[in-house]
Amino acid sequence: MSGGLVLYALSAAFAAWILFFVYRQLASPLRHIPGPFWTRFTRAWYLYRLSQGHFEKENIDLHNEFGSIVRIAPGWYSCSGTEAIKKIYGLGSKFTKSDWLFAGLYSLTSLMSYEPFVNRCIDLFVDRLSEFSQTNEEIDLGHWMQCYAFDVIGCITFGERLGFLDSGEDIEGVIRAVDSIPGFASLSGIYSEWHSLLYKINSYLTTSGASGRNFLASFAREKITNHKQQQQKDLAEKTQEPDGIGSTIVNQGEDGTTSREPFMTKMIRAQLQNPEKVSDYHLIMLARSNMGAGFDTTAISLSSIIYHLIKTPRVVQKLRAEFDAARKAGRLSDRVTFHESQDLPYFQAVMKEALRMHSATGLPLWRVVPEGGVELNGVHFPEGTILGINSWVSHYNKDVFTNPTEFCPERWIEQDEAKLKTMNDMYMPFGLGSRTCIGRHISILEMSKLIPVLVDRFDFVMASSASPSGESKWETENFWFVKPRNFRVRVYQKGLRD
């Protein structure tokens, strides 16, 4: 074939490709739904904007410009409002969560037996912060929150701290490896049909999310093997440490379950009893999802609480007054229990508001419309359409949240019931519907116990607040998790700042 013919064939193929996209757009029953121009033809627009790392803000702006349903890519629509919430996350109810075998492990009652693990991590974290207050050094509080969250999740999953709180070191590069997963997953998820190819390519690149995932899997495998060996050894020696951290046998129940046993012990026992139901794959999945989904989200949320408190000193004063009053009334111990934290309404509102202002996930929670399609705002979305709501869009909806950019815990208290119900309907930091966050109680436990201790003992100051304007904002980056990138602070013992 001559060079001219090849060129001709390529041009014809390109023209046919363009015509196909134009035809598909003109013929689409959803062509009237607004959105940026290029989103009519390609997912590349979304890919590019997402790669900029601030899609949560862009998503809010898009809804302000185009209304409650916005086209993000051909067949992908970002939605907002209570009707959308009910329809989209109600849709998932057709697909129950029964595939998640061990949901019971994450129940609040089961998790409350892990308070001693959390106490131990809090003690260590307080030690580190006290040291920093002595040396007056600047620290990345976002990183230290990761260390705390990782050590807690390590205790709950394996019964052992992984050791991050000892020196803040990223042991075996785990944090970095886990950090890299969401970026790869969200960018490659846009072109899911190429995912396996991209995954293979990226597995060879050491900094990619795919290699992070492999690393995490082998890390989990190693921990599971150690755990199995330890458990066999314990059984052989029949050791019973009644109160030590890391002890596995405490309060034996009639059904064979015991409290303060880490997840892995319970899972390995389940495997011994039911080997055909519980495989090694299940053990690895549990470990991986706890570490992958459970530590960054919690660290971000903890950081958000402290960041907003730093920015709003009047809230700190009110919070401390609530803690003082509760302590005087004998309702608050030094090591705040989860139970006690539930009886602190202002504190509860502070946590809720911080997660409204800064939700850990910052992309729409996409769902595929099932068979039969769905009616939304008078529009029929056929089966296979992709719809999603970004919690940031929901939480910054001006019609529901007055002055949404203002950190105002009082909005959750001083509100009439009807308004409060709408706000709660729109509140979705942990997602909604059948795929809602399974681990939220773990995070709530971690936050409820740590924050009162930090607020009671320390003052935090943004490191750059020494600047003349006194104004400083953190930088964030969104590749699914909206992570603080420069949450540098100085720590002072409470009341001892010059």
Positions touching ligand HEM (CB under 6 A) are: 97, 100, 153, 289-290, 293-294, 297-298, 301, 360-361, 365, 429-431, 435, 437-440, 442-443
118 contacts: CB under 8 Å, gap ≥ 6: 152, 155, 445, 446, 449, 450
155 annotated as ligand-binding: no
- CA dist 215 → 165, 174, 218, 223 (Å): 21, 8, 5, 12
The CA distance from 324 to 318, in Å, is 10
Cβ proximity to ligand HEM: between 84 and 360 the closer is 360
C-beta closer to ligand HEM: residue 450 or 463: 450
Minimum distance of ligand HEM from residue 161's CB (angstroms): 15
Most distant CA pair in the chain, distance: 91
Structure token digits, residue 391: 């919690």
CB nearer to ligand HEM: give 133 or 157: 157
Instruction: List the structure tokens of 311.
Output: 């920015």
CA dist., res. 498 & res. 485, Å (int): 27
Tell me if 262 sits within 8 A of 155, measured CB to CB: yes
Smallest distance, Å, CB 401 to ligand HEM?
Answer: 18
Distance CA 236, CA 240 (A): 12
If the CB atoms of residues 74 and 439 are measured against ligand HEM, the closer one turns out to be 439
Name the residue with the smallest CB distance to ligand HEM. 439
- Nearest approach, Cβ of residue 410 and ligand HEM (Å): 22
Whether 169 contacts 146, CB under 8 Å: no
Q: Does the CA dihedral 153-158-164-170 come out positive or negative?
A: negative
Q: What are phi and psi of 367, to 5 degrees?
A: -135, 145
At closest approach, how far in Å is the CB of 35 from ligand HEM? 22
Pick 381 or 392: Cβ nearer ligand HEM: 392
By beta-carbon proximity to ligand HEM, the closer residue of 36 and 189 is 189
Q: How far is the CB of 297 from ligand HEM (least distance, A)?
A: 3
Smallest gap from residue 182 Cβ to ligand HEM (A) = 12
Total H helices, total E strands in the chain: 20, 13
Which residue, 96 or 403, has its beta carbon nearer to ligand HEM? 96
Give the nearest distance from C-beta 439 to ligand HEM in angstroms: 2
- The Cα 452–Cα 442 span in angstroms is 17
Binding residues for heme: 437
Binding residues: 437
